[in-house]
């Protein structure tokens, strides 16, 4: 009997947080934003987990905003300012959403903090450990490698190119 030769496998990969560390970019941007709000208010957070503070305010705003997590960052800045002035973080998020926060940051300072936040979000993510070696092994095995992601195709392709991964993929598709 003749052995059947199998065709190389098709491998589907998610880009964000599988191939590269998108969460790390967001975490760094959020921590930098908190540091900027602390500087603007002259108050320091006393919490041990600084990222958890930012993310609690972030989620509290997103729960109420029609755009979900795509709300304007100024709301997060206002919520953090109130939280640094002693307001419970959930209440600070509600106050920011309602536009009735007590701790005010000057409009020009808020603009600088917001611009820095957007700039930080634009930094390329770090490649995850083992990704290059894994992709080389898939290439050597003749596999078809497809990226399936909810991110914009152009952004995924740019990030893959920046990280030197662009030649490893057969196709990308938005889910």
Tell me the per-residue pLDDT of 38-72, one tens digit each, with 9 for 90 and over: 999 999 999 999 999 999 999 999 998 898 888 99
Report the C-alpha gap between 159 and 57 in whole angstroms: 29
Q: What is the pLDDT of residue 3?
A: 60
Which pair of tokens denotes residue 98?
A: 């309602």
Report the C-alpha gap between 69 and 92 in whole angstroms: 16
Q: Which residues pair with 16 in a beta bridge?
A: 20
10-21+126-174 carries CATH number 3.20.20.70? no
- What is the crossing angle of helices 107-121 and 22-41, to 10°? 160
Instruction: Give residue 2's pLDDT band: very low, low, confident or very high (50, 70, 90).
Output: low
Taking only the tens place, the pLDDT of each residue in 25-45 is 999 999 999 999 999 999 999
Whether the predicted model's global pTM rises above the 0.75 cut? yes
Q: What is the pLDDT of residue 4?
A: 63
Is the pLDDT at 140 greater than 80? The verdict is: yes
- Give residue limits of the domains in the chain: 10-21+126-174, 23-121
């Amino acid at each position: 009997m003749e052995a059947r030769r199998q065709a190389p496998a098709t491998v589907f990969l998610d880009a964000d947080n599988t191939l590269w560390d998108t969460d790390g970019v967001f975490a760094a941007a959020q921590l930098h934003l908190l540091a900027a709000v602390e500087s603007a208010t002259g108050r320091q957070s006393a919490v041990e987990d600084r990222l958890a503070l930012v993310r609690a305010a972030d989620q509290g705003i997103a729960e109420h905003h029609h755009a979900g997590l795509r709300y304007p960052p100024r709301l997060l800045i206002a919520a953090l300012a109130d939280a640094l002035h002693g307001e419970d973080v959930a209440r600070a998020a509600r106050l920011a959403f309602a536009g009735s926060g007590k701790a005010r940051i000057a409009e020009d300072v808020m603009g600088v903090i917001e611009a820095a936040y957007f700039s930080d979000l634009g930094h390329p993510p770090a490649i995850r450990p083992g990704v290059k070696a894994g992709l080389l092994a898939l290439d050597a095995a003749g596999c078809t490698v497809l990226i399936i992601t909810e991110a914009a195709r152009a952004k995924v392709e740019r990030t893959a190119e920046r990280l030197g991964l662009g030649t490893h993929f057969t196709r990308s598709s938005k889910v």
